[in-house]
Structure 1
């Protein structure tokens, strides 16, 4: 699977936010100057320019449920933890683009024990449900200098881009009709770093 980044209204809004940020200085010279250098810098932040090197990314956090009470108040409940990792290599092409090849997995963990969840009892319904690890394999992309939006302030640089996803759904609707979105999985990853 390959995706190409496209700017969207969200990306444009993020760029406007960065420009309107008080730390933004119009008098500050942008050391990266052009999209090619921004893309190279962004690749180096999350991988390596050496295509033989495999970079490891890691993330973790908590998953919350959200309900609105009869009084109209929002109530958030921590449901479980998640954590994941990504292995990635990037290779520059003759035209100045990059091919990013990676795989990733995210797991869900029990709040009390930290064990990987294979089943989870819903705090809302009491019903036990099977839990699946997120196994994104592959997570490949073609990255071009014009595939995202870049900004520079005196304190940081930013890349904003969107990955539009469309591939066969691993959660087969025949086997999981109540939970599958259909034969194709369609989604979007929105990035700002």
Structure 2
């Protein structure tokens, strides 16, 4: 089994990721706001905050580049492919009854081009479908409980 397949099949779902992020982000923010204590020996290739050399977590440009590196590629010729899927819910009434409406699934492909002003242009094409909760079939209409009507579905 390749390393990628192992990662894709690991029992670490979205909820576990969000829980870990909820714990890690405040800790990282606290460390960043306090600052790193000076040391007598510096690790080669690291910044004063322990991240990659030259990375400043308080610099919006560094954060943008890092986000692009995590979600796509900084290489304007490289294409990136992504997939998403999930369930759409609504809250009904004062008692906040949470009701699942339908599933959504899709994929996209794109690339990112750096601009002369330091910004990036994201070129992206995406296809998405709304699916029936029970059958998984792609829907042409769904029942909206908020207005109690059948509503036409427009694929993404």
Q: State the TM-score bracket (shorter-chain normalisation).
A: 0.5 to 0.7
CA distance in 2, matches of 1:98, 1:89: 10
- Helix, strand or coil at the partner of 1:37: helix
Point out 4+ residue stretches in structure 1 off by more than 4 angstroms.
123-126
Select the structure that is richer in strand. Answer: 1
Q: 1:126 to 1:38 in 2, by over 3 A?
A: closer
CA distance in 1, matches of 2:122, 2:136: 32
Match of 1:95 in 2: 117
1:84 is aligned, of 92, 103, 106, to 106
After superposition, the CA RMSD in angstroms is 2.7
| Structure 2, unaligned runs of 5 or more | 1-24, 37-48
CA distance in 2, matches of 1:98, 1:123: 41
Q: Report if the CA contact (8 A) 2:110-2:122 is conserved.
A: yes
CA distance in 2, matches of 1:47, 1:125: 39
Question: Residue 22 of structure 1: CA displacement?
Answer: 4.3
CA distance in 1, matches of 2:145, 2:86: 19
CA distance in 1, matches of 2:140, 2:92: 24
Q: Greater CA deviation, 78-87 or 120-129?
A: 120-129
Match of 2:85 in 1: 60
2:26 is aligned, of 15, 18, 21, to 21
Question: Residue 37 of structure 1: CA displacement?
Answer: 2.8
**TM score, norm. by length of structure 1:** 0.50
Larger of the two Rg values belongs to structure: 2
| Structure 1, unaligned runs of 5 or more | 1-19, 135-193
Q: Report if the CA contact (8 A) 2:92-2:146 is conserved.
A: no
How many residues align? The count is 114
Select the structure that is richer in helix. Answer: 2
2:98 is the alignment partner of 1:108: no
